[in-house]
Structure 1
Amino acid sequence: MRVLYIITDLSTGGAETMLFRLLERLDRKRYEPMVISLMSMGDIGPRITALGIPVQALNMASGWHSPLGFSRLLRQIRRARPDIVHTWLYYADLLGGLAARLAGVSTICWGIRSSNLEPDKTRWTTRAVRHLCAALSHRVPRCIFSNSKTAKQLHIALGYAARKMVVVPNGFDVSRFKPDDDARSSVRAELGLSPTTLLIGMIGRYDPLKNHAGFFSAMSMVLPYFPQVHFVLAGKGIDSGNAELMQLIEQKGLSKNTHLLGPWPRLMASLDLLASTSHAEAFPNVIGEAMASGVPCVATDVGDCAYIVGDCGRIVPAGDMTGFASAVREILNLSPAKRTALGESARAHVASLFEISAVVRQYVVRQYEVVYEYLRGNSQ
């Protein structure tokens, strides 16, 4: 069965990472996958190519509405002749869904990977595309995958076709994300810190929705109680060249205790606590990865964060940075043994609910169901 995955871009991000994880474990005896990125190959494209899966980048950049770019997409779909087109993210849902319909593909699955889009923190074009997708959802896709229960309900309220919505959560490789004493010691050594230094991490691109300002506000209320704690941040735009970010750090008096690392592969297992101060999320990968690594999390109550964290960390109302700081202090006040036990329960929680192979099976079953129903309908 030929499956064409269409995604807006292949730069490092939650959706892109989950697509790679899905493709990495797809049964290649039953599926023949192909990938089209509307924009670039990014960092994930070469990794998918290394799996032996063809990847085409259309380099549409910000010209998502370009007739020329759309015609190229249409030609690629017709050339691929897929049985299923599975799109990821709003722009790919819109353009990929319409092009697949014009190409004669009947089995189209959309993929929703976000929840609330606050007007002052997201582009108006993204919100406009989402509203257009809501209208088209009743006619274009046969099913709509959401990685979040909260996002499913939000999109139904926006007008998305409720009967087509299916929740399949993000998945995590618990053999890759796991407690690692070597990572703990080596990261601290590279940062010039004591082996016993407490590390609080925030991992994610620099974006208003991630609320870095809130993170530093909360940490300024943690530092007086734990003067030896250090804060490590990683992700796109997280470096000393980001003048806005540097100003935030200096204003809160955190310069001596803060490390901006950009991409940093071994960071997760080195942490004592992961902080997620986001204004909006659907199903953040970083929380699942941290928990699988045995790291307790404090997160704002957005998207499915409360469901993911369960009773293995702390959940705080979005925007309440005083409460966030209090929750962080509560976990740091635990003895090392109790923090370790909390991390162990977090890891077991992720392994039981979000293990990657089980998540991939959910996609496979749903996709086969869709095709089976279509073929059965045509045979009657």
Structure 2
Amino acid sequence: MRALTVIAEMGSGGAERVVTDLVEHLVATGHEASVASSGGWRADALAVAGVCTLEVPLRESGPVPLARAVARLRREISARPVDVVHAHNVRATVAAHLATRVGRRVRPPLVTTVHGLADPDYRRAAQVLRVCDAVVAVSDDVADRLVRAGVDESRLHVVENAVPAPVFRPGGSDEVRRELGITATTPVVLCIARLAAPKRVDLLVDAWADVPGATLVLAGDGADRAGLELRAASLGDRVRFLGDRRDVDRLLAAADVVALPSDREGLPMAVLEAMAAGVPVVASAVGGIPQLGADVVELVDGQRPEAFAAAVRRVLEDQDRYRTLATAGREVASQRFSSSRMQSGYALVYEDVQKGRRTS
């Protein structure tokens, strides 16, 4: 099978991590795979590994970048016909649809994965997703929202996100803490998130005056960084801004808790990565996160700084609760969110759409 993946960009986000996992698996199992995106460090890494990567202007909005992206994709598909096109989220779906449908009597099936949208965007997305042979939701919550918006259930699949088994490095925690200038006894709360909506990192920053003695480490970058740095100025080095990081596994080794205060989510990779590493999670009760269970994640209802402060303190101070979350998270991650399970799920979707290939 030859598969083409289309995604806006290939940086540090969760969707990009899923794409990398799936593409590497396809290549390892004897298939051909290529990735079209606006680029990013994950695309560079795939290219070094021998995967065909195409640079297309999918990060930019507007009709002109879209037209350029469609033309580039069309040239690629004409030169190297594919058996399936896999788009991630709506903008990539539009580009993939226009590139594969216009003027083609027989066209490759189109699969789209929806990683989570703002509530008002689901209905508009459902209109676009009508062109897809299959739609994949990353959680039951996303699937329910898509159905309510009008997506045909017969074409809808749920394939939950997954993470590879963590790599444990002896002494990793001490090494990272030395790099950051944090003592071995200081509680470290890690937030792995883009510093922009809908992650609501401002809630954590505002909460931090009420979490005495702990250091908040923010791994990520984005449009809100300057404002957040101003917001955190009075807290001194109790809030650390690390920028975009490619060593999340190392940071997790040094973390006592992972916190994610998002307004909305599909099924966030940061939460799954923390669970797999045995790091307790405090997160907003949004999207697919509550479906993980209250014994797996410390859920926070309501977008209030004081609620996050109380939840973080509870996990840090209650050792029984801490151990319960760490143990349950690791078990659920290994049993339910393994890479092999996600890869098998997508293999079945690819097989299904190829059997039902339609003509235009």
Q: Under a length normalisation based on structure 1, what TM-score does the superposition of the two structures give?
A: 0.86
> What is the aligned partner in structure 1 of residue 177 from structure 2?
188
Work out whether 1:258 is the aligned partner of 2:239. Answer: yes
Partner-residue secondary structure (3-state), 2:75? helix
Which amino acid in the other structure matches residue 112 of structure 1?
V
Closer/same/farther in 2, CA of residues 348 and 97 from structure 1, 3 Å limit? same
Structure 1 270/247 Cα, relative in aligned 2: closer, same or farther at 3 Å? Answer: same
Corresponding residue of 2:134: 143
1:238 is displaced (CA, Å) by 8.9
Q: How many residues matched?
A: 352
What's 1:96 paired with?
96
Q: 1:150-190 CA distances to partner (integer Å, 9 max, x unpaired)?
A: 111112222223321111111111143x5x55222112212
Unaligned runs of 5+ in 2: none
Q: Deviation at 1:342?
A: 3.2
Residues 1:64 and 1:48: Cα distance change in structure 2 (over 3 Å): farther
- 1:293 equivalent in alignment to 2:274: no
Say which is worse superposed, 151-160 or 60-69, in terms of deviation: 60-69
Conserved in 2, the CA contact under 8 Å of 1:86 and 1:109?
A: yes
Aligned to 2:331: 348
Which of 112, 134, 147 is matched with 1:156 structurally?
Answer: 147
User: How many angstroms apart in 2 are the aligned matches of 1:148 and 1:51?
Assistant: 30
Corresponding letter in the other structure for 1:46: D
**1:44-193 residue pairs with structure 2 within 5 A?**
44-59=42-57, 61-66=59-64, 67-102=67-102, 103=104, 104-117=106-119, 127=121, 131-138=123-130, 140-176=131-167, 178=168, 180=169, 182-193=171-182
What amino acid is aligned across from residue 157 of structure 2 in structure 1?
V
Deviations 1:5-35 (A, max 9, x none): 1111222211111100111222545521111
Question: Secondary structure of the equivalent of 1:261?
Answer: strand
Displacement of 1:149 after TM fit? 1.3
Q: 1:234 to 1:372 in 2, by over 3 A?
A: same
Partner residue in 1 for 2:192:
203
Q: CA deviation at 1:134?
A: 1.7
**Cα displacement (A) at 1:220:** 2.2
C-alpha spacing 1:175/1:116, structure 2 compared with 1 (3 Å): same
Q: Deviations over 1:217-256 (max 9, x none)?
A: 2222222xxxx211111112399xx431112113xx4223
Deviation at 1:75, TM superposition (A): 2.0
Alpha-carbon offset, residue 64 of structure 1: 4.6
Partner AA of 2:243 in structure 1: G
- Report the identity percentage: 26
Paired with 2:113 and 2:29, the residues of 1 have a C-alpha distance of: 24
Q: 1:169 to 1:60 in 2, by over 3 A?
A: closer
CA shift for structure 1 position 131: 4.8
Within 1, Cα distance between the matches of 2:15 and 2:356? Answer: 27
Rounded to whole Å, the distance in 2 between the matches of 1:361 and 1:159 is: 27
Partners of 2:318 and 2:7 in 1: how far apart?
A: 43
Structure 2 CA distance for partners of 1:10 and 1:351, relative to 1, 3 Å: same
Kept in 1: contact 2:205–2:228 (CA 8 A): no
Note closer, same or farther for the CA distance 1:47–1:267 as it changes in structure 2 (3 Å cut): same
The equivalent of 2:355 in structure 1 is 372
| Matched residue, 1:124 | none
Note if contact 1:137-1:161 (Cα within 8 Å) is conserved in structure 2. no
For residues 14 and 44 of structure 2, the distance between their equivalents in structure 1, rounded to whole angstroms, comes to 17
| TM-score of the two chains, using structure 2 as the length reference | 0.90
Q: Residue 58 of structure 1: CA displacement?
A: 1.8
Kindly state the Cα deviation for residue 373 of structure 1 after the two structures are TM-superposed: 3.4
Distance in structure 2 (CA, Å) of the matches to 1:61 and 1:238: 15
CA 1:60/1:331 → structure 2, altered by over 3 Å: closer, same or farther? closer
Query: Secondary structure of 1:302's match?
Result: coil
Contact 1:148 1:168 in 2 (8 A): yes
Could you say what secondary structure the match of 1:246 adopts? helix
State the Cα distance separating 1:52 from its structure 2 match: 1.8
Q: For 1:260 and 1:136, locate their aligned partners in 2 and report how far apart those are by CA, in whole Å.
A: 38
Write the deviation string for residues 82-110 of structure 1: whole angstroms up to 9, x where unpaired.
11111112100111123222244241111
Please report how far the alpha carbon of residue 297 of structure 1 lies from its aligned counterpart in structure 2 after TM superposition: 0.4
CA-CA distance at 1:209 after TM superposition: 0.8
- Are the counterparts in 2 of residues 309 and 346 from structure 1 also a CA contact under 8 Å? no
| 1:137 Cα deviation after fit | 2.5
The Cα of 1:305 is off from its aligned counterpart by 0.8
1:122 maps to none
Q: Distance in 1 between matches of 2:119 and 2:219?
A: 23
Q: CA deviation at 1:69?
A: 3.5
219, 230, 239: which one aligns with 1:234: 219
| Aligned mates of 2:52, 2:214 — CA distance in 1 | 46
Structure 1: gaps spanning 5 or more residues: 119-126
Contact kept in structure 2, 1:116 and 1:154, CA below 8 Å: no
Structure-1 separation of matches of 2:291 and 2:29: 35
